[in-house]
Amino acid sequence: MLAGKSVIQRVYEQVKGLVDFAVVATDHQLIAEEVRRFGGEVVMTSPDHKSGTDRCNEAFDKVGRGFDVVINVQGDEPFIQPSQIQAIKDCFDDESVDIATLVKPFDVNDGFDALVNPNSPKVVLGNDNQALYFSRSVIPFIRGKEQGTEWMSTHTFYKHIGIYAYRAQVLSEITALPQSSLELAESLEQLRWLQNGYKIKAGITNVETVGIDTPEDLQRAELFIKNAALS
């Protein structure tokens, strides 16, 4: 529960009005019951999926074809914003794009420790915002500059936000691919797609969301809502 509503209800309500059809994909009966309680759409999926992309593909198969693009929003992102969903959708104006995701520039005020944190994947973009590579390491390496604030003040580093969207046909294709060597090395499934030649385009957002992975994150989210109400 988060400020009187379940987290999954907050995510659903944030997304529902921004897409043609929204559905919660879950393997847990209690989550399904909660979604039905607040009037949401839900589909049960296998408990054996190794990634959210695999679960998304099964849900899409069960919901039925007919949609051009599938957006995969994690169930722990109650503060996802309309501008972020729109940035993802806009990526598909380019017909060559197979997959879209979001990135956010690292803020110098967050400090160098935030940049080097391996739990916060980095991404290097091409001139058309095409993702060239994702890594848990800091990329690119800034030669001739002292590591720290000098790096961050001379180059824009991008943090990957784990929201994906896929063209419908691409979604079924990438879930059939075996794990790749780069994916196994970095434990980042998007590297499997890049290694197999799929084009990933990044929408850029300056909105910082609060994902909820731990009890401490839930406390931060409660504070976030309280401060938003006060302002």
For residue 228, pLDDT over 80 is answered with no
Report if residue 223 sits inside a domain. no
Q: Tell me: the pLDDT tens digits for 138-181?
A: 999 999 998 888 899 899 999 998 899 999 999 999 999 999 99
Q: Both 106 and 151 in a single domain?
A: yes
Q: Determine contact, residues 12/38, Cβ cutoff 8 Å.
A: yes
Report if residue 96 sits inside a domain. yes
Q: Tell me: the pLDDT tens digits for 83-121?
A: 999 999 999 999 999 999 999 999 888 889 989 999 889
CATH number for the domain spanning 156: value is 3.90.550.10
Q: H/E element holding 24? A: strand 24-26
Owning domain of residue 204? 81-208
Cis, peptide link before residue 121, omega less than 30° from 0: no
Which of 44, 74, 104 terminates a domain? The answer is 74
Report if residue 99 sits inside a domain. yes
Number of C-beta neighbours around residue 32 at 10 A = 18
Task: Name which of 13-22, 48-57, 212-221 the model is least confident about.
Answer: 212-221
pLDDT of 71 reads: 96
pLDDT of 201 reads: 98
Q: What percent of the chain has pLDDT over 70?
A: 98
What is the overall mean pLDDT for the chain? 92
Domains contained in the chain, number: 2
Pairing outcome for strands 24-26 and 42-44: parallel
Q: pLDDT tier at 223 (50, 70, 90 boundaries)?
A: confident
Q: Tell me: the pLDDT tens digits for 55-68?
A: 999 999 999 768 99
pLDDT of 231 reads: 58
